[in-house]
């Protein structure tokens, strides 16, 4: 009986491993396709092409050749080849689990152009409202200018108590879902503070498609 159970366990393990190997590639391809579609959603409507760049620890950027250890930004180009915007992924711990979002950024106007939740397990009817209007509208057209030194934001993005936002960089938290909404605000603040200065410093490199 012991040998039979051991054999069944071994066979089950092999089947699970084989299934994982077969489905992993499919899952990753689907995830990449969803991300590419989301990039077009958060960037201006005239974007016809996108290209990924990875951000190196020294602040340099280079074309992304595949999965790696460095942050990746997605640059959108118009039909005439000019840069239209940059999409950036951010993540942070929410109420239920990790939240992943994607936001678009216009380096010329220094504004956010779009916002989309990529992954969330927040509470239905409460925390999942971070993916819905009117909350997402807060980040469309939001002004996020850099400071005079170009090393950080002039005004950090801040989540405040629902109904109390009075400045352009303040966002009303969702009533009853403050943890989820504050998680979004925190991840956007960290991401924009870290990556927007690099995007500006390397904008000439990002403009080059070839």
Most confident of 18-22, 66-70, 101-105, 169-173: 101-105
Average pLDDT of the chain, as a whole number: 86
Structure tokens at 157: 């993005």
Q: How confident is the model at residue 14 (pLDDT cuts 50, 70, 90)?
A: low
pLDDT at 55 over 90: yes
Q: What is the mean pLDDT of residues 129-143?
A: 91
More confident residue, 54 or 209: 54
Q: How confident is the model at residue 193 (pLDDT cuts 50, 70, 90)?
A: very high
Residue 83 to residue 205: CA distance in whole angstroms: 11
Residues 150-184 as b/e (b if ≥16 CB within 10 A, e otherwise) read eeebeeebebbeeeebeeebbbbbbeebbbbbbbb
What percent of the chain has pLDDT above 90? 57
pLDDT at 175 over 60: yes
Q: What is the mean pLDDT of residues 24-40?
A: 73
CA pseudo-torsion sign 33, 59, 44, 98: positive
More confident residue, 78 or 10: 78
Q: What is the mean pLDDT of residues 118-142?
A: 88
Radius of gyration of the CA atoms of the chain, in A: 20
Residue 129 to residue 102: CA distance in whole angstroms: 16
More confident residue, 42 or 65: 42
pLDDT at 171 over 80: yes
Structure tokens at 104: 């678009």
Q: How confident is the model at residue 24 (pLDDT cuts 50, 70, 90)?
A: very low
Can you give the pTM of this predicted structure? 0.82
Strands of 98-106's sheet in order across? 61-63, 49-55, 72-77, 83-93, 98-106, 111-119
pLDDT at 105 over 50: yes
């Amino acid at each position: 009986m012991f040998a039979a159970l051991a054999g069944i366990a071994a066979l089950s393990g092999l089947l699970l491993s084989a299934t994982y190997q077969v489905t992993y590639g499919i899952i990753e391809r689907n995830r990449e396709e969803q991300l590419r579609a989301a990039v077009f959603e958060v960037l201006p409507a005239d974007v016809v092409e996108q290209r990924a760049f990875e951000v190196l620890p020294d602040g340099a950027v280079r074309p992304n050749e595949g999965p790696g250890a460095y942050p990746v930004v997605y640059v959108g180009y118009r039909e005439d080849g000019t840069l239209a915007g940059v999409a950036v992924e951010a993540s942070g711990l929410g109420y239920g689990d990790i939240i992943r979002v994607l936001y678009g950024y216009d380096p010329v106007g220094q504004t956010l152009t779009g916002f989309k939740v990529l992954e969330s397990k927040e509470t239905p009817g409460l925390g999942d409202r971070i993916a819905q209007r009117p909350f997402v509208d807060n980040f469309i057209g939001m002004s996020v200018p850099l400071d005079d030194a170009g090393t950080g934001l002039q005004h950090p993005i801040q989540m405040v108590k629902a109904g109390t936002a009075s400045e352009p960089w303040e966002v009303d938290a969702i009533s009853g879902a403050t943890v989820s909404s504050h998680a979004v605000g925190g991840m956007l603040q960290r991401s924009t503070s870290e990556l927007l200065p690099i995007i500006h410093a390397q904008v000439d490199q990002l403009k080059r498609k070839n």
